[in-house]
Amino acid sequence: MNGAILQDRIHQLSDWIITSVFPTTHWWMHFVVHVVLVAMPVAFLILLLVWTVSLVRRHFPGRPPAPSSELPTRFPDNLFGYILKHTRRQQVVLLAAALASLPLLYAVLELPKQIINRALATEAAAVSVLGTAMASYELLFLLCALYLAAVLVSGGVKYGINLLKGHLTEGMTRRMRFAVFQAWSRGAKPCAPSQIIPVLVQEVDPIAGFAGEAFLTPVFEGGTFLTILVFMVFQNPVLGAAAMTLVPIQIALIPRLQRRVSALSRQRSREMRSFGAAVADADPHSRNALAYPVLAVSQSLRRAQIIRLEIYRRKFFIKSLNNFITHLTPFFFYSIGGYLVIEGRLSLGALVAVLAAHKDMSAPLRELLGYYQTMDDVRVRYDDIRRFLAGQHDATPAGIGHAVGIDASLPQSLRKGAA
């Protein structure tokens, strides 16, 4: 009985919220707006609660703290501190350029709406602009010129950001490779060249590439996402809420799926190190030559192929899911925005502008989700390199046993396939 009363009270509360913000009696709109104004905020609250519990468990795990991960290498424990130490000036310029691009983005979103509403949809012979009377075609040409200028300047700023980011990444790649080489060559227990070469070629690239994204992506992509969302809210608050309807699903599902892809990518990278070790051990002049060198190399290549196929399957599923969610969101725009246009409470130009803005909204969200996964992956790679150079070879596959065996960290299905 109490459950039925609580459910009835919640239903009455949601009805009051909807009728206060979006008064309508049509059952279809009633259902859609319930999803946008009730289900979406509840989903965000659940996500926030889950994140809070996760943070509390991470900082207060209820067990003794883990020992310090400081290792005797040239690389400090904190990846972000290492990046900031060597790229501080470039990072400041990148962040300033990213912030400068946000007003230009808003102008690119706003001007098409003004073109439709003020220059095309007006029936007046002249339109007043800052106290000056202008004919409709003159206003059209002026707004088009401003739009073109905003697009060109915005594109120039993004080009400069990408160019500077490329310079930063390449400089960091050169620095890290030389530092890894020095740490290996001067180490007390240097490993074989067959093991250090994959580290220099494959492992350093993702970390150095992340140096250009470490501080830029949260500011640039997060600012882009918030700018587009603010633009939608200014057109209509309900449309802004509609744009966020499926975001909780993306945040809850995509990182979990992507996390497994990142784990498989790291597994493949380690497998390629095993492949290098197997090839080196297959040398007939080597002291540690394998009894069956062709078998060891073949098994290593087979495992790498199976892992790669699993990566393809998972990545394509994530891409299909993202595309479905991205194309489903306009359903809410057409339903709510179309109703508002028919009722005369929203201009057609504003609806068109919101639809155009939404196409640009999925890209920064996708980049932010990818950044979160890349950050975890790069941290693991960075720690692996530090442990590798410190002589803790358990962090990397080494030795003949791993080269001819099957890694226990693989999923059961992959272990069967490799066997």
The owner of tokens 């201009």 is 347
Cβ 83 vs Cβ 212: under 8 Å: no
pLDDT score of 73 more than 60:
no
pLDDT score of 232 more than 90:
no
Alpha carbon distance 14, 42 (integer Å): 11
Nearest to 251 by CA among 53, 32, 38, 51: 51
Residues in the chain: 419
Best CATH choice for the domain 75-418 from the list 1.20.1560.10, 1.10.10.10, 3.90.420.10, 1.10.3720.10? 1.20.1560.10
**Least confident segment among 145-149, 238-242, 286-290, 385-389:** 286-290
Dig out the tokens for 200 from the structure: 């220099």
Q: Which of 86-90, 194-198, 342-346 has the highest mean pLDDT?
A: 86-90
Alpha carbon distance 363, 365 (integer Å): 5
Nearest to 153 by CA among 222, 220, 102: 102
Q: What is the pLDDT of residue 346?
A: 79
Q: What is the pLDDT of residue 344?
A: 79
Q: What is the pLDDT of residue 312?
A: 87
Q: What is the pLDDT of residue 360?
A: 81
Dig out the tokens for 121 from the structure: 């949809």
Alpha carbon distance 231, 148 (integer Å): 19
Alpha carbon distance 366, 225 (integer Å): 10
Provide the mean pLDDT of the chain: 75
Q: What is the pLDDT of residue 58?
A: 66
Q: How confident is the model at residue 185 (pLDDT cuts 50, 70, 90)?
A: confident
pLDDT score of 270 more than 80:
no
Q: What is the pLDDT of residue 416?
A: 42
CB atoms within 10 A of CB 342: 9
When comparing pLDDT for 218 and 39, which is higher?
218
Q: What is the average pLDDT across 331-356?
A: 80
Q: How confident is the model at residue 40 (pLDDT cuts 50, 70, 90)?
A: confident
**Least confident segment among 143-152, 165-174, 207-216, 405-414:** 405-414
**Least confident segment among 152-161, 211-220, 237-246:** 237-246
**Least confident segment among 158-167, 176-185, 282-291:** 282-291
Q: What is the pLDDT of residue 96?
A: 94
pLDDT score of 169 more than 70:
yes
Q: What is the average pLDDT across 163-185?
A: 87
Q: What is the pLDDT of residue 345?
A: 77
When comparing pLDDT for 292 and 392, which is higher?
292
Q: What is the pLDDT of residue 97?
A: 93
When comparing pLDDT for 245 and 2, which is higher?
245
Q: What is the pLDDT of residue 184?
A: 77
Q: What is the pLDDT of residue 16?
A: 61
**213 DSSP assignment:** T
Calculate what percentage of the chain has a pLDDT beyond 90: 13
Nearest to 82 by CA among 166, 217, 180: 180
Q: Is 286 helix (H, G, I), strand (E, B) or coil?
A: coil
When comparing pLDDT for 1 and 92, which is higher?
92
Q: What is the pLDDT of residue 27?
A: 64
